Amino acid sequence: MRKRLVIGMAVVVVAIGAGFAIKAGKGAAAVPASAAMAAIPPDAAASEVPLDFTAAEASKPQALALPQLVEFSGALVAPNTATVRAKATGTLLALDVAEGQRVKAGDLIGRIDIGDLASRVAERNANLAAVKVTLAQAQRTHDSNVGLANDKFISPLALENSRSSLDSAKAQVAAAEATLDTARIALRDASLIAPISGIVSKRFVVAGEKVTAEQQVVNIVDLHMLELAGTVGTQEVGRLAPGMPVTLRIEGVDKPLDARLARIAPAAEAGTRSIGVVVQLPNPHETMRAGQYAVAQVQISDATPRLTVPLSAISSASGQEYVWTVEGGKLLRRTVTTGRHDQVRNRAEVLQGLSPEVPVLGARFDNLREGAKARVVAVATAATPKPLPPAVATH
């Protein structure tokens, strides 16, 4: 009986030991597994599935010639602008034009009270008649003295005095004629005449006002030729020359217009590194108006092939530009230095940081991670990320 009890207790002890051994074995296996799972970052599991980019989304850089675009802007002005000024002091009797009205050169557009001027002309006309009578008398006296001097009836000194009197009378006539001409010009200028053909852009006075000499009355603008004055940097002006074609984009006008570069300033503006340039725009139908804002673009040809990528491939952060590339089955971020930008063809020149054989992502994607698995495929798959919509350009 005692022997059976000892054997039973031994069996129980062995069973309990075996149970502890099993539990200990299970615990030892669980610890390293949970530790391994905790050591794996969440992104690592996702990176096991490579991102698929189509050939349209990831393409190699292209060698293209990029014409340089020199751009400047400003407001259109009408160089043929005239200001009609009053040439005499008086009351403005009439101003027969309104703003926006078309006039021709030589048209009478207004009148100033000429009562005082008319009396002044009459006075100087009478003074001229008086000195002419004096001149005629001096001429007869001198002619008589010449005959007397030849017959030795008067002295040479008396003849010289008569000649001096004649010359003085002639000078008085010339002075009277000059003052009369001045009065007549003032009388003529009292009538306001349009100096050029164009459109009245502004009136400064109204009928009934008192005007003074040289006071502005109206402005007249000729819109058949407009100009755009802008500035370009000293590093760009050497590529420009008068006569070069210019493309103008004008606010309110749907299509760009063709113009030409007319003048380039001989020196930079004081305190700047900018040179003034002027573009001329023919406007025969007067569809454009002075004051409209315009942007001028001068395209300079380029024969040198340059390494280019889509403009949408260029991103920037902390003042540095970069692109995303697919290299060795991984997604890499490459810092680059760009040069010329061609907005028409949507290409940017890459000067440094990129190899011509490396595919570059031509669109922007969200949440890209450097080092993630990536590849270029012919057809989009479920692993192809959706690109972000293109950024809207602001001006």
Domain residue spans in the chain?
51-66+304-377, 71-79+221-300, 114-189
Q: Are 120 and 183 in contact (CB under 8 A)?
A: yes
Q: How large is the angle between the packed helices 115-150 and 156-189, nearest 10 degrees?
A: 160
- 51-66+304-377 architecture in CATH? Beta Barrel (2.40)
CATH level 3 topology of 114-189:
Helix Hairpins (1.10.287)
Q: Which residues pair with 90 in a beta bridge?
A: 211
Please state the pTM of the whole predicted model: 0.57
Q: Are 213 and 86 in contact (CB under 8 A)?
A: yes
- 71-79+221-300 architecture in CATH? Beta Barrel (2.40)
Q: Are 109 and 187 in contact (CB under 8 A)?
A: no
pLDDT tens for the chain, 395 residues: list them: 444 433 444 433 433 443 433 333 333 333 332 333 333 354 444 445 888 898 888 999 999 888 888 889 999 999 999 999 998 888 898 999 999 999 999 999 998 887 777 788 888 889 989 989 988 888 888 888 887 878 777 788 887 888 888 899 899 999 999 988 888 887 777 789 999 999 999 999 999 999 988 999 999 999 999 999 999 988 888 889 999 999 999 999 999 999 999 999 999 888 888 999 999 999 999 999 999 999 999 988 777 888 999 999 999 888 899 999 999 999 999 999 998 888 778 889 999 999 999 999 988 888 888 999 999 988 878 767 777 776 544 44
| Equal fold, 51-66+304-377 vs 114-189 | no
